[in-house]
Amino acid sequence: MIVQEIWDQFLHIAKEEAGSRVVETWFKAVSLVKWDPAKRIAYLQAPNKFVKDWITRNYLELIQLHLGRLLHTTGVTVSFAAESVHEKKVVSESTVVPATTVPSRSVPIRSSLVHANGHINRSYSFETFVVGPNNSLAYAAAQAVTERPGRVYNPLFLYGGSGLGKTHLMHAMGNEIKGRHKKASVLYQTADRFVNEFISAIRFDKIHKFQAKYKNVDVLLIDDIQFISNKDQTQEAFFHIFNTLYEGHKQIVFSSDTFPQNIEGIADRLKSRLAWGLVADLRVPTLETKIAILKKKAHIGNEPLSDEVAHFIANRVMANIRELEGALIRVMAFASLTQQKVTLELAEKVLADNRKKNNGYLDSNTVLKGLLKCYPYTFDQLKSKQRNKEISFVRQVAMFLIKELAGKSLRDIGEFLGGRNHATVMYAIDKIEQLMETDPEVRKRIKYIEREIHKLTSQ
Ligand code: ADP
Ligand code: MG
């Protein structure tokens, strides 16, 4: 078998195990140029030192393991063939026994950009969003924009504290625009990911592709724009994207935790553009709105909820809607766990110890503890490099749930789960998000795990 085929097979396996994003970003940039069976050395060629170092740091074990399997041996050493001047020579030797089928072409050096499109979450719609005096301006503006994207409020800037419905509204806009304007291309992205994607574009000399991706949309939704703070080069790139879209009457929507002028570490010219259109805030909901939200959520979940209990929970939770939802789920989970009806007494008991949560988010350890109740693995195994199909899946679910329930950054999640890099985390979250939409079994299982996690916080 020629080395190219071996490498292709390896790419296939790596895709299964590390995800296609990792393969697209890193492994496809690399080629296997020679295999020395006597010394058991696999010679790889990387396009630059950066890729070489990254792979060595993060994926060496994976390569050794699977190349070993494919080559029917163990103890494979990986060596990077450094200079491309030797390329021809190396290629001419690049065979695994039998040594007859030598590829005559030179080694293709491919690289590609991370395709990090955030998806639009279908369950976040205008219908499931409860309007109150705290968010009516933002809601009305969001609706107006979906009717005539790019024409009324451009950009639309939504700001407000954590858990007050910014992300929900942005997805609702995305869904609505896709429904109304079939041909419109809508791109939702968090600024966090935008930054990562930009950095990866620089590494691979794919800036044009990156710019084109963002400049060719009809609607661009950038969530949590404050994460672009102090990233000067990303801001510069974003500035150009903004100008192009704006001049083309394309709709731009931002969300942030503060008013544009108060975001620190953003260049003035960008700051002023953020506020060019309409700036609408989302505030803490009133008691009535909180009750309405609880009722709606209970209704969506097909759970009966009396006025009395809704009132009690709404009064109990001050900070934000994420926390409000968390409290509702805890009450419901406890009721189902103990097979009791949801009464005022029960809600009082469950929420008696309403420990101050971090903006309604749980901590990562609690999330993991609940998850591990559902699977026969230990935390150490999840952190380890073990990669059979099930443990990889559980690890991916862990990443997804920590993002959802603990609200951690990609980087923090990677650190927490054994020092994995953010691209792996991003891939995992995307994958589970997609499965949640397409695979009812996975959805059911994850909902079940979520309940287990919330039970821990209600005991
Ligand atoms: P943010 O992005 O502002 O931090 P999210 O949009 O993620 O907040 O909202 C947190 C949770 O609260 C989500 O589950 C969302 O569905 C819910 N939520 C927020 N505002 C509302 C609302 N007005 N009606 C219904 N649900 C809401
Ligand atoms: Mg958000």
In a shared domain, residues 162 and 209: yes
In a domain, 262, yes or no: yes
In a domain, 108, yes or no: no
Ligand with an atom nearest the CA of residue 191: 2
Give the pLDDT band of residue 70 (cuts 50, 70, 90): confident
CATH number of the CATH domain containing 36: 3.30.300.180
pLDDT at 383: 92
Domain boundary among 267, 282, 297: 282
Percent of the chain with pLDDT over 90: 52
In a shared domain, residues 66 and 28: yes
In a shared domain, residues 175 and 275: yes
Residues of the domain holding 143: 136-282
Ligand with an atom nearest the CA of residue 170: 1
Give residue-wise pLDDT tens across range 93-139.
333 333 333 333 332 222 222 223 457 888 899 999 999 999 999 99
Question: Is the confidence at residue 1, as pLDDT, over 80?
Answer: no
Question: Is the confidence at residue 304, as pLDDT, over 90?
Answer: no
- Total domains, the chain: 4
Do 50 and 33 meet the contact criterion of CB atoms below 8 Å apart?
A: no
Question: Is the confidence at residue 384, as pLDDT, over 70?
Answer: yes
Domain boundary among 318, 350, 382: 350
Atom of ligand 1 nearest to the CA of 164: 3
In a domain, 401, yes or no: yes
Atom of ligand 1 nearest to the CA of 170: 6
Question: Is the confidence at residue 226, as pLDDT, over 50?
Answer: yes
Which stretches within 248-388 are classed as H helix? 268-274, 287-300, 307-316, 321-337, 344-352, 364-372, 379-383
- Whether 166 lines ligand 1, by a CB cut-off of 6 Å, is yes
In a shared domain, residues 155 and 243: yes
Question: Is the confidence at residue 187, as pLDDT, over 70?
Answer: yes
In a domain, 403, yes or no: yes
Whole-model pTM above 0.75? no
In a domain, 355, yes or no: no
In a domain, 363, yes or no: no
In a shared domain, residues 452 and 390: yes
Do 324 and 360 meet the contact criterion of CB atoms below 8 Å apart?
A: yes
In a domain, 384, yes or no: yes
In a shared domain, residues 243 and 143: yes
In a shared domain, residues 268 and 147: yes
In a shared domain, residues 249 and 301: no
Q: Lowest mean pLDDT: which of 11-20, 52-61, 95-104, 171-180?
A: 95-104
- Mutation choice for ligand 1 from 121, 164, 168, CB with most ligand atoms inside 8 A: 168
In a shared domain, residues 276 and 302: no
Residue scoring higher pLDDT (55 or 419)? 419
Q: Lowest mean pLDDT: which of 14-28, 141-155, 280-294, 433-447?
A: 14-28
In a domain, 131, yes or no: no
Domain boundary among 259, 282, 305: 282
Buried b (16+ CB within 10 A) or exposed e, 228-242: beebeebbebbeebb
Q: Comparing C-alpha atoms, which of 248, 236, 242 is closest to residue 195?
A: 236
Ligand with an atom nearest the CA of residue 121: 1
Segment 396-420 shows an average pLDDT of: 92
Cα(129)–Cα(300) distance, integer angstroms: 11
CATH number of the CATH domain containing 425: 1.10.1750.10
* Distance from Cα 83 to the centre of ligand 2, integer Å: 46
Segment 161-189 shows an average pLDDT of: 94
In a shared domain, residues 261 and 275: yes
CATH number of the CATH domain containing 163: 3.40.50.300
pLDDT at 357: 55
In a shared domain, residues 197 and 291: no
In a shared domain, residues 268 and 291: no
Task: Report residue 240 as tokens.
Answer: 């150009």
